[in-house]
Homo-oligomer: A and B are copies of this chain.
Amino acid sequence: MSLKEVIQSQNFFRSLSEKDIDLLCEITTLHHYNKKFILYYENTSSKELYFLISGLARSYKIDKHDNEIFLHYIYENSLISEVSDLKSSSIYAYSNIELIEKSQILKIQYEKFKRYFLDTNLLCQEFTQEILNRSHQLQSLINREFVFDAVSKVSMMIYDDLEMFNKLKRHDIALMLHIQPATLSRVLSRLKRNYIIDIIHGEVIIKDKEALCAIYKDKIDD
C-alpha cells in the first residue's frame, strides 16, 4: 500500500479532499517497525507528529526505583504523540512509547501540519477528539491509581474484562495494574478465600459478581 492509500484508509483523515491528502503526503513519511521497538523516550522533544496506522503500542514511565509504570495502550488508527501546547511547534514526550506489535507509523512534520491542517480548521475536530481520548485514558489511570488499592484494581479488571484477564499472563496484568506479581497473587487468593472468585487450572471464574463489583464501587461503606 502506498503512503496515499494508507492515509486514505484512516478514519482520522477521511474528511480531507484529495488535494489536501496530496499535500499531507508531502510532509509525511511511513515507517515500519518490529515489536519491542522504542519509538521515543520521555522528556525528549520531536518536530514530528506520530500516528499509529496499524499495530499496538504502550506508553509507560520509569519511577524513582527504576520500575516501569504502565500508563496505557495506544491502539491502531490513533495519534501517538502527546501534544501539550498548540502554540509550540515541537512536541514534548511525557512518556516512553514502545511498540508491542509489528507496527506502521506515520511521521508528519508537525509545524507544517499545524499550519496547513489545524490553523485552517481542516482536521481540528479530529485532532481534538484524539486529544480527548488521551485525556480520558489519563483520567482512568488517575482513577485506578489514586482512588483504588490493589484489591480494587484487580476486582475492577476481573469484573470489566474477565476474558482479557484470563488471556494475559499474571506478570503482564500486574504490570498493567502497577502492582507486583506477588501482590496480584495474594489478592487473587484473598478473593478466592472470600468465595468471590474461583481459580480452576489458573483460570479465574467469578462466583459472586455483586460482591466483586462492590469492592471497588462502594467506596463509602467500607
Contacts and interface: CB of A to CB of B under 8 A. Distances in A.
* Oligomer copy total: 2
A219 B43 CA distance: 13
A185 interface: no
Interface string A109-132: 000000000110100110111011
Contact of A136 (B62, B84, B124, B145): B84
A203 B66 CA distance: 33
Interface stretch (A100-108, A147-155, A192-200): A147-155
A207 interface: no
Interface in A141-174: 141-143, 145-149, 152
A134 B124 CA distance: 18
A131 B136 CA distance: 11
A152 B64 CA distance: 9
A1 interface: no
Nearest to A119: B125
Contact of A128 (B127, B139, B141, B222): B127
